Amino acid sequence: MHHWLLSTQPTLSLGTLLSTALGGVIFGLALAAPPGPMNAVIAEESALRGWRAGLFAGLGAMTADACFFVLSLVGVATVVTETPGLRQVMVAAGGMLMLWFAYGAIQDANALSSVDAESDDDASRGFRKALVLALTNPYQVVFWLTVGVGLLRPGTLDVLSSLPVVGSEVSGLLVVQTGHPVLLAGLFGGIVLWITGFPAAIVAARERVERLAPVIAWASAAVLAVSGVLFLAQALGPAVEWAGSTLLP
């Protein structure tokens, strides 16, 4: 088990605490904001069922991140990266789930009148979809085993120094204390900021643009379908290569 979060933390100045918290928020947004299957689910739930459903979907994804963080902290998550067969199974399962959810998004887009935006069941449905989808995504495990764990080791990190072109000019402006609970709090704070703000933006856009909800649902279905196909192709690739090398003389 890694013990750096349990060890005595150094006393930080107020400026360092603030920069560490801000750095954590930036890393949380960098983890949560990029377009992909998870944000497709959040967008679909927000457009079809309202802000609360989108928030619940985001909470499902964040719950998976919290699980992976704990598993990485105790060393269990390394099993995924050290067992190629297990990783392939996760990729295949994730791909099939994405295709299934894409089919569901298409059904929702074609039957918007039957959707109840205030249904508690709908909100919990989004949470379950995002949680299961995230738990079958080995790339989130890899994040927590690489970038995530690196952020939690004691030390310092100059966040802006690695920026292209201007890195040398802004070096030292945002130095964070890695391995500190404030950084972890900021990271999950950044995720919370995204999963509350992104659904709100989707709902606001839906209210301003007539018939935007089905467009978002169709776009979400497309993202999920393409991601599912790519996941399945990656999972089946080694099997196809093995079969080809076995059958061909």
Model confidence over 42-94: pLDDT tens digits? Answer: 998 898 888 999 999 999 999 998 888 888 777 766 776 677 677 777 778 88
Closest alpha carbon to 151 in 189, 183, 188:
183
Could you tell me the pLDDT band of residue 5, with boundaries at 50, 70 and 90? low
- The pLDDT of residue 173: 66
Query: What single string gives the DSSP state of each residue in 21-89?
Result: HHHHHHHHHHHH-S-SHHHHHHHHHHHHH-HHHHHHHHHHHHHHHHHHHHHHHTTTTHHHHH-HHHHHH
- The pLDDT of residue 68: 84
What mean pLDDT do residues 90-99 have?
82
Residue 193 within any structural domain of the chain: yes
Q: Which of 13-22, 96-105, 111-120, 194-203 has the lowest mean pLDDT?
A: 111-120
Residue 8 within any structural domain of the chain: no
Residue 134 within any structural domain of the chain: yes
Could you tell me the pLDDT band of residue 165, with boundaries at 50, 70 and 90? very low
For CA atoms 80, 81, 83, 84, give the dihedral sign: positive
What mean pLDDT do residues 18-28 have?
85
Residue 218 within any structural domain of the chain: yes
Could you tell me the pLDDT band of residue 111, with boundaries at 50, 70 and 90? low
CA distances to 160, 163, 169 from 172, rounded to whole Å, are: 8, 12, 9
Residue 202 within any structural domain of the chain: yes
Which tens digit of pLDDT belongs to each residue from 184-237? 888 899 999 999 999 999 988 887 776 777 788 888 888 888 888 887 887 776
Residue 83 within any structural domain of the chain: yes
| Total tally of structural domains belonging to the chain | 1
- The pLDDT of residue 82: 72
Residue 124 within any structural domain of the chain: yes
- The pLDDT of residue 169: 56
The boundaries of the domain holding residue 195 are 15-158+173-247
- The pLDDT of residue 191: 93
Q: What length is written for the chain?
A: 249
Query: What percent of the chain clears pLDDT 70, i.e. is strictly above it?
Result: 74
- Here the tokens at position 191 are 């995720």
- CB count in 10 Å sphere of residue 7: 10
Whole-model pTM: value is 0.78
- CB count in 10 Å sphere of residue 209: 11
In this predicted structure, the answer to whether residue 123 has a pLDDT above a threshold of 90 is no
Query: What percent of the chain clears pLDDT 90, i.e. is strictly above it?
Result: 14
